[in-house]
Structure 1
Amino acid sequence: MSVIKVIEVIATSENSFEEAVKNAVTEAGRTVKNIKSVYVKDMNGKVQDNKIVSYGVTAKISFLVND
């Protein structure tokens, strides 16, 4: 029987939401193996002087647990 585990991570980027999601998966992949999917739960941006200076995401990452 296969088991899927889900973790929630927060990641940022100075360039885009897409890059923030990629950063979330890359960083999680340093310690988690068999990542199968990512679900973006929340997105936010930090604004200074009426310009977005960073993009952030809260993401759920699913991975297969070895049985």
Structure 2
Amino acid sequence: MADTVYSKTQIVGTSEKGVDDAIRGAISRASKTLDEISWFEVVEIRGHVTDGEVAHTQVTLAVGFALADTK
């Protein structure tokens, strides 16, 4: 049996509530189409300011997932 092989892709989560909510929303959504998500890393955080207040947060994530075995 071979060692596990992973692929990595980037996704962007958004939230009006903050960084944690953006991350959790992105991982939850990605889990619906990517099997075997194993880890993530935050690549970038940015936001939108309206009237001197943080209005929206965007978090770019690198998401790692195991490739399925082929038979």
TM-score (norm 1): 0.94
TM-score under structure 2 length normalisation: 0.89
Aligned partners of 1:60, 1:46: CA distance in 2, in Å?
21
Q: Give 3-state SS (helix, strand or coil) of 1:66's partner.
A: coil
Higher strand share: 1
Q: 1:35 aligns with which of 25, 34, 37?
A: 37
Write the mapping of 1:20-31 to structure 2, written as runs, cut at 5 A.
20-31=22-33
Question: Larger Cα Rg: Structure 1 or Structure 2?
Answer: 2
- Which consecutive unaligned segments of at least 5 residues does structure 1 have? none
The CA deviation at 1:27 is 1.1
Counterpart code for 1:37: W
Q: Secondary structure at the match of 2:27?
A: helix
Instruction: Report percent identity of matched pairs.
Output: 25
Give the secondary structure class of the aligned counterpart of 1:60: strand
